[in-house]
Amino acid sequence: MSEAQMPVVTGGFGEMPTISFPQAEAPAGLKAVELVEGDGPVVRPGDMVTVNYHGVVWGSDVPFDSSFNRHQPATFGIGIGQVIKGWDNTVPGHNVGSRLVVSIPAEYGYGSRGIPSAGIPGGATLVFVVDIVSTTSR
């Protein structure tokens, strides 16, 4: 998969990212590109992971959710159904200290219903920039 199909992300690990979209159409399927390779422990399914993230609907510059905006990372179980499938399927296997950009089609996100109250229309492709802060085995 070419990085050219993915949004362009500026900002380094730990910095508020900016996301721009070089093409109108989202790539097909679930896509993840490691922008920064961390050198910490590998995240494994079942771990408790702490991340900073910034999420937008494909093509938008307005986040529907951002832990960067709250200045508070989020912690949750990964690979065990506590978050959307797109996260469960892309975050494990990456190291602490990594920054990812992930394109998540509706079937791995919020489906055909979306979450309109959060600004996520049905069928939306989501884009997240994810900084993996820490991981611990459960």
Query: Residue holding tokens 């600004």?
Result: 119
Contact assessment for residue 85 and residue 108, using Cβ atoms and an 8 Å cutoff: yes
C-alpha 27/C-alpha 52 separation (Å) is 24
Query: Residue holding tokens 């050198």?
Result: 39
Contact assessment for residue 100 and residue 130, using Cβ atoms and an 8 Å cutoff: yes
Domains recognised in the chain with CATH numbers: 26-136 (3.10.50.40)
Tell me: the pLDDT tens digits for 25-49?
899 999 999 999 999 999 999 999 9
C-alpha 102/C-alpha 137 separation (Å) is 23
Whole-model pTM: value is: 0.95
Stretch 60-85: mean pLDDT? 96
Considering Cα of 44, then 47, then 51, then 53, what sign does the dihedral take? positive
